[in-house]
Amino acid sequence: MVDYRRLNELLQRNKRRRKLLITRKPPVELDKHNVHPIWVTKIPHPNAVSPSRLHAIEQMVWEQLQQGEADVILDAIEYLMIENGVEPTLRFVSKLRDMALLANSDFYVTISDGIDDRVRNILRRIVE
């Protein structure tokens, strides 16, 4: 787990390694050659996926991981919790973590102070 304000630091780390970024930021804000954004939004867009389609996000991450090692960064957890509920989102995080481990990739979740202590502790157990 990483403070959301350190996202750019994560993206800059090891510039030769690909980054799979699940984010609320539109792709135009992420003009980095080694970053593959998965834009989570309800707005129809070719590079976007709806927050309610967790299975589609999982599939996109898995397909990218099959192409080689990459850091997986979830930068939209609060939004996913609002749209899907806490428990489904935590199960989703657990699955992403497992996929990253199977692909010999690092997994990060950015969080803000908006996540309560109970959820933060559960999330820490899942991720670490």
Tell me: the pLDDT tens digits for 54-106?
999 999 999 999 998 899 999 999 999 999 999 999 999 999 999 999 999 99
**Tell me: the pLDDT tens digits for 4-50?**
999 989 888 888 889 999 999 887 777 677 899 999 999 998 889 99
What pTM did the predictor assign? 0.92
Domain ranges of the chain: 2-127
CATH of 2-127 among 3.30.70.2170, 3.90.76.10, 3.40.50.300, 1.10.1740.10: 3.40.50.300
What per-residue confidence (pLDDT) applies to 103? Answer: 94
> CA-CA distances (angstroms) from residue 25 to 46, 65, 74?
14, 21, 12
> CA-CA distances (angstroms) from residue 82 to 42, 76, 77, 115?
13, 10, 9, 11
- Per the CB < 8 A criterion, the answer to whether 8 and 31 are in contact is no
The tokens for 9 are 């630091």
The tokens for 117 are 């202590």
